[in-house]
């Protein structure tokens, strides 16, 4: 069992007399990647800023390495926690190597000169983050993903037991989001550092994080491994809104489609699933065809045109495109439909 690097107990966070969230208790074990999730405005950034010592807490405790965070001075804190913020921080005229070098500032003298050991740490951090080939590039010339890697390398060079990142995947496309999450996963695995990051990428967090902190509106935090929270239906409860359902088995959200009519369909396989999906998006529920259904759709995956429409037991149309076939079904809907109102989940 990893030792606990940080814990928060009965924490209240907010601004002045306004409590954003209270009754927050959680742990950060060493060497874990922890994802903080919650709806917009629940206070994720406020919580992270509070843990970093950037703003006062309204009650409770934050303890890192057996010391209360708000009793540490700036230099002591910078040796415990490295922070990567959401905002596109502008560091004018700095190249990647200089930025990562700033990560060494808690250890360098007044002039910020890097010694040989610092330079090795900076080079290693750039290497680990896959940004060494851009070491001489200005930050302003980098893509969002490359810039994020440079800031993570700076945090790594700071050599703290805890790295905190506020939405590090916010501006990135899917491959870059996966790459950054995998990089953070790799850092936690190989360096033993703990990483606490906020994110809205539930699907990636479910696959890559060791632990969730789920921030409820007003508090408390629900914490645990992804699998234990799935067992407890924690995500369903948290994200359940009208028309959206979280599927525990797949870890995906599904959208409710209102169904106004139905059609009998015979068939199976991938083609059947795709047709059912397209029909349900158009408000048509698919029911299994019985042997006495003269008006029906048949899906034959081995046929050149897999989708066929039968009216009065006569095949009146065959198509190989789902889109074209669904339009045919819609045109013939009055012949096929049995009126019924219901809802199904998207596939």
Ligand X SMILES: Nc1ncnc2c1ncn2[C@@H]1O[C@H](COP(=O)(O)OP(=O)(O)OP(=O)(O)O)[C@@H](O)[C@H]1O
Using the minimum distance from each CB to ligand X, give the nearer residue, 47 or 208.
47
Q: What are the tokens at 282? A: 């158009």
Is 78 among the residues that bind ligand X (CB under 6 A)?
Answer: no
Cβ neighbours of residue 9 closer than 8 Å, sequence gap 6 or more: 25, 60, 61, 63
Is 42 among the residues that bind ligand X (CB under 6 A)?
Answer: yes
Indicate which single residue of 2, 9, 10, 15 sits in contact with ligand X (rule: CB under 6 A).
15
Question: What is d(CA 284, CA 276) in angstroms, rounded to the nearest whole number?
Answer: 9
How many beta carbons lie within 10 A of that of residue 208, not counting itself? 18
Q: What are the tokens at 26? A: 């959680």
- Strands 221-224 vs 211-215: parallel, antiparallel or unpaired: antiparallel
Q: Tell the smallest beta-carbon distance from residue 44 to ligand X (Å).
A: 4
Which of these segments, 33-41, 67-75, 278-286, 315-323, binds ligand X (CB under 6 A)? 33-41
Using the minimum distance from each CB to ligand X, give the nearer residue, 81 or 264.
81
Is 238 among the residues that bind ligand X (CB under 6 A)?
Answer: no
Q: Tell the smallest beta-carbon distance from residue 145 to ligand X (Å).
A: 20
Which of these segments, 36-44, 95-103, 237-245, 276-284, binds ligand X (CB under 6 A)? 36-44
Which of these segments, 44-52, 71-79, 231-239, 258-266, binds ligand X (CB under 6 A)? 44-52
Element of type H or E holding 316: strand 314-319
Element of type H or E holding 127: helix 116-128
Partnered with residue 280 across adjacent β-strands are none
Of 124, 181, 133, 178, the closest CA to residue 156 belongs to 124
Q: Tell the smallest beta-carbon distance from residue 198 to ligand X (Å).
A: 7
Is 219 among the residues that bind ligand X (CB under 6 A)?
Answer: no
Using the minimum distance from each CB to ligand X, give the nearer residue, 102 or 253.
253
Are 142 and 83 in contact, with CB atoms under 8 Å apart? no
Q: What residues make contact with ligand X under the rule CB under 6 A?
A: 15, 20, 38, 40-46
């Amino acid at each position: 069992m990893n030792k606990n690097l940080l814990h928060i107990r009965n924490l209240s966070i907010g601004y002045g007399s306004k409590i954003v969230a209270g009754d927050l208790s959680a742990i950060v074990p060493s060497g874990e990647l922890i994802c903080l999730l919650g709806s917009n405005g629940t206070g994720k950034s406020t919580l992270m800023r509070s843990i970093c010592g950037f703003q006062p807490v309204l009650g409770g405790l934050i303890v890192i390495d057996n010391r209360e965070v708000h009793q540490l001075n700036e230099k002591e804190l910078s040796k415990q926690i490295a922070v990567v913020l959401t905002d596109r921080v502008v560091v004018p005229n700095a190249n990647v190597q200089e930025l990562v070098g700033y990560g060494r500032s808690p250890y360098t003298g007044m002039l910020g000169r890097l010694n040989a050991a610092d330079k090795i740490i900076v080079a290693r951090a750039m290497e680990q983050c896959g940004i060494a080939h851009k070491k001489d590039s200005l930050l302003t010339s980098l893509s969002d993903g490359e810039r994020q890697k440079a800031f993570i390398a700076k945090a790594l060079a700071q050599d703290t037991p805890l790295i905190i990142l506020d939405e590090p995947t916010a501006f990135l496309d899917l491959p870059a989001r996966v790459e950054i999450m995998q990089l953070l996963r790799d850092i936690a695995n190989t360096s033993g550092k703990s990483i606490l990051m906020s994110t809205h990428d539930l699907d990636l967090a479910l696959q890559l994080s060791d632990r969730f902190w789920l921030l409820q509106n007003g508090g408390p935090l629900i914490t645990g491994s992804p699998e234990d929270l799935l067992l407890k239906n924690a995500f369903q409860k948290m994200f359940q809104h009208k028309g959206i359902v979280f599927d525990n088995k797949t870890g995906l959200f599904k959208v409710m489609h209102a169904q106004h009519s139905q059609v009998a369909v015979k068939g199976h396989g991938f083609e059947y699933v795709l047709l059912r999906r397209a029909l349900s998006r158009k408000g048509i529920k698919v029911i299994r065809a019985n042997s006495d259904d003269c008006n029906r759709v048949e899906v034959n995956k081995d046929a050149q045109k897999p989708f066929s429409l039968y009216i009065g037991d006569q095949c009146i149309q065959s198509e190989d495109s789902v889109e074209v076939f669904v339009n045919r079904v819609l045109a013939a809907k009055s012949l096929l439909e049995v009126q019924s109102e219901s809802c199904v989940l998207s596939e």
